[in-house]
Amino acid sequence: VVTLLRKQRIPVLLHRAFSSSARRLRNKVPEAQKLFQEDNGLPVHIKGGTSDVLLYRATMTLTIAGSCYSLYWLLVASMPQRKP
Name the residues that contact other proteins, by CB under 8 A.
25, 27-29, 32-33, 35-37, 39, 43-45, 47-48, 55-56, 58-60, 62-63, 65-67, 69-70, 73-74, 76-77
Q: How far is the CB of 5 from other proteins (least distance, A)?
A: 21
Task: Name the residue nearer to other proteins (CB basis): 9 or 43.
Answer: 43
Q: How far is the CB of 77 from other proteins (least distance, A)?
A: 7
- Cα(71)–Cα(79) distance, rounded to whole angstroms? 13
Q: How far is the CB of 3 from other proteins (least distance, A)?
A: 27
- Cα(28)–Cα(21) distance, rounded to whole angstroms? 18
Helices of type H across 19-49: 29-36
Task: Name the residue nearer to other proteins (CB basis): 9 or 83.
Answer: 83
- Cα(74)–Cα(70) distance, rounded to whole angstroms? 6
